């Protein structure tokens, strides 16, 4: 072989080697990607399933459980969001790393559900505070400032009730895949019980609205009674008795809107005593009674009225 031939063959051999090396490098890159493991989301899934279990075992009709649930959800969301970020996955929807985020979409969809539920519970917390404010305005203030109950202007909560209902009922579950459902509580139960929680607020508001009217009718009746206008007094007492006729389901009697508010059972007992008080007062207006008999009946009614008042006015 001549020197020229050696010169011509050497570059060819080098190119062959380089091609082979290049192929090996390229192949090595592909194999490395194929061998890279997908993230393990078992920890995040377990945490979300844990929250779901707590929610499924909690009475969502009871406003007093809202704060605990909000805290539990908040802690879990922060933990899961941080875990996803550590794995290169943006919880808001973007994948930071080049690794395929198998299962991440289910977790992110579950996170959105819990975020929406947390917002609903926050709305409920605001509603609880407003209903408690109505209670103070309707049942406490008038006994200390000397104003007529007819002058009471209770804070309106209709718009807040409407917003709460809308927040609950705008969530739909038909488009949530089964793989995501496994990370969530029973959504139908959640919505049903939150709507029943709304009914608790509405019942509290109804009781609060009735109370000033009952007191006003009794006060008008007593004023007429003292002026011997017994027919007029009897009508006012009967109005008070009718307005104090309320019904509270046994299943809802223990529910308060805050730790310091009255329960629906408390309202039921208060109105029961006012109803009896108004009945005794109306009986004092009957025809054919002498002054002593009238006074005995009206005094009995007043004592029952004070007993009813003590159920809330003397509370710690």
Instruction: Find the mean pLDDT for residues 208-234.
Output: 94
Inform me whether the pLDDT recorded for 178 exceeds 50: yes
pLDDT digits (tens, 9 = 90+) for 260-315: 999 999 999 999 999 999 999 999 999 999 999 999 999 999 999 999 988 887 76
Q: What is d(CA 190, CA 175) in angstroms, rounded to the nearest whole number? A: 17
Q: Which residue has the higher pLDDT, 155 or 121?
A: 121
Name residue, tokens 């009922």.
169
Beta bridge partners of 95: 89
Query: Which comes out higher in pLDDT, residue 6 or 236?
Result: 236
Q: What is the pLDDT of residues 302-315, one digit of tens each?
A: 999 999 988 887 76
Instruction: Count other C-beta atoms under 10 Å from residue 45's C-beta.
Output: 18
CB atoms within 10 A of CB 139: 22
Q: Is 148 left (phi over 0), alpha (psi -120 to 50) or beta?
A: beta
Mean pLDDT of the chain: 83
Distance CA 130, CA 124 (A): 10
What is the structure's pLDDT at 28? 43
- Domain limits, the chain: 42-313
Q: State how far the Cα of 130 lies from the Cα of 155, in Å rounded to an integer.
A: 8
Closest CA relative to residue 61, chosen from 241, 309, 252: 252
Mean pLDDT within 147-165: 75
């Amino acid at each position: 072989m001549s020197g020229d031939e050696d010169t011509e063959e050497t570059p060819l051999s080098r190119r062959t080697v380089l091609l082979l090396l290049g192929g090996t490098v390229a192949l090595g890159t592909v194999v490395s990607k194929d061998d890279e493991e997908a993230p393990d989301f078992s920890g995040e899934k377990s945490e979300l399933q844990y929250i779901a279990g707590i929610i499924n075992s909690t009475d969502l009709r009871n406003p007093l459980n809202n704060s605990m649930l909000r805290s539990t959800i908040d802690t879990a969301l922060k933990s899961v969001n941080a875990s996803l970020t550590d794995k290169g996955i943006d919880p808001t929807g973007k994948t930071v790393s080049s690794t395929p985020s198998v299962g991440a979409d289910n977790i992110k969809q579950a996170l959105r559900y819990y975020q929406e539920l947390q917002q609903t519970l926050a709305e409920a917390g605001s509603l609880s505070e407003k209903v408690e404010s109505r209670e103070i305005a309707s049942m406490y203030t008038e006994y200390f400032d000397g104003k007529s109950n007819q002058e009471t202007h209770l804070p309106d909560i209709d718009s807040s009730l409407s917003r709460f209902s809308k927040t609950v009922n705008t969530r739909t579950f038909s488009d949530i895949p089964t793989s995501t459902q496994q990370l969530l509580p029973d959504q139908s139960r959640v919505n049903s019980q939150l709507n029943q929680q709304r009914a608790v607020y509405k019942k509290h508001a109804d009781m609060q609205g009735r109370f000033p009217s009952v007191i006003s009718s009794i006060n008008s009746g007593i004023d007429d009674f003292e002026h011997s206008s017994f027919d007029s007094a009897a009508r006012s007492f009967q109005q008070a008795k009718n307005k104090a006729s309320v019904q509270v389901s046994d299943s809802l009697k223990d529910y308060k809107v805050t730790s310091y508010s009255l329960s629906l059972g408390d309202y039921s007992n208060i109105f029961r005593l006012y109803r009896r008080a108004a009945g005794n007062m109306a009986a004092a207006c009957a025809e054919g009674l002498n002054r002593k008999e009238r006074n005995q009946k009206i005094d009995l009614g007043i004592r029952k009225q004070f007993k009813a008042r003590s159920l809330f006015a003397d509370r710690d």
